[in-house]
Amino acid sequence: MTKPHDSTDKKSAHHKASMEKRKQKIDTNIERATEERGVAILLTGNGKGKSSSAFGMAIRSLGYGYKVGIIQFIKGTQLSGEELFIRDKHPEVYFHQMATGFTWDSQDRDADIAAAENSWLHAEKLLQDDSYHLVILDELTYMLSYKYLDEEKVLIALRNRPLEQTVVVTGRGGGEALRELIDTVSEIQDIKHAYRAGIKARKGVDY
């Protein structure tokens, strides 16, 4: 008859062996990663949290005293918590908003294209400046999907940015060429959303 403590000992031994195997695999992967440079990250998908994740990385970089630049495409007619925080608490951050609102609000393609091109000039400035550790291009994918910006021009700027600079692009879609260039692509799935149940967007949570 198996005693209770014998079963516990076997579980503990199995857990220890499993964790040792996992640690060995992780350590091997860490040792294999020897290249030192900035990366390009795409946060995409239909789910909530893409911009929130990008701003989380901005806070992480600021925590280390790194220089951060943020360009927001589309958003801008309504104040957001992240805008208030950055402008009030971290005025040293280069922060530019396209300030036209969503395309279904403006309903003026020519004006949207002009605003996108103007905002892209700010983005290009950051992507050529090696003093910026992190550059966030929030909702840039829509500018490519709607053809407000020249795709090849955007890809060249991303590809030729300073070696140590990391760039984060957010938004749905963006095309295969962008995904091919990017080092890390994370897709956020939309499983369930309070909005579809008639619950209003919440200040400090959704904006």
Q: What is the pLDDT of residues 156-202, one digit of tens each?
A: 999 999 999 999 999 998 899 999 999 999 999 988 988 788 888 88
Domain limits at 177? 38-197
Pure H helices in 64-108: 81-89, 103-106
User: The pTM is what?
Assistant: 0.83
Q: Which residue has the higher pLDDT, 50 or 194?
A: 50
Record the tokens describing residue 39, joined without a space: 């990366």
In whole angstroms, give the CA distance from residue 108 to residue 4: 73
Residue 178 maps to which CATH number?
3.40.50.300
Give the Cα separation of 82 and 207 in Å (integer): 8
Return the structure tokens found at 109.
């393609």
Q: Provide the number of structural domains found in the chain.
A: 2
- CA 44 – CA 179 distance, rounded (Å): 10
Same domain for 29 and 49? no
Q: Are residues 136 and 180 in the same domain?
A: yes
The answer on 192 and 168 residing in a single domain is yes
CA 175 to chain centre: 16
Residue 51 lies in a domain: yes
Asked whether residue 57 is domain-assigned, the answer is: yes
Q: 59 and 9 share a domain? A: no
Sheet with 166-170, strands from edge to edge, namely 94-97, 68-72, 134-138, 166-170, 40-44, 184-187
Residue 183: both structure tokens together: 């080092």
Percent of the chain with pLDDT over 70: 90
CA distance linking residue 122 with residue 103, whole number of Å:
20
Residues 167 and 84 in one domain: yes
Do 28 and 125 share a domain, yes or no? no
Residue 202 domain-assigned (yes or no): no
Alpha carbons 81 and 66: distance in angstroms, whole number: 21
In a domain, 74, yes or no: yes
Assess whether 124 and 177 both reside in one domain: yes
| Whether residue 97 sits in one domain with residue 161 | yes
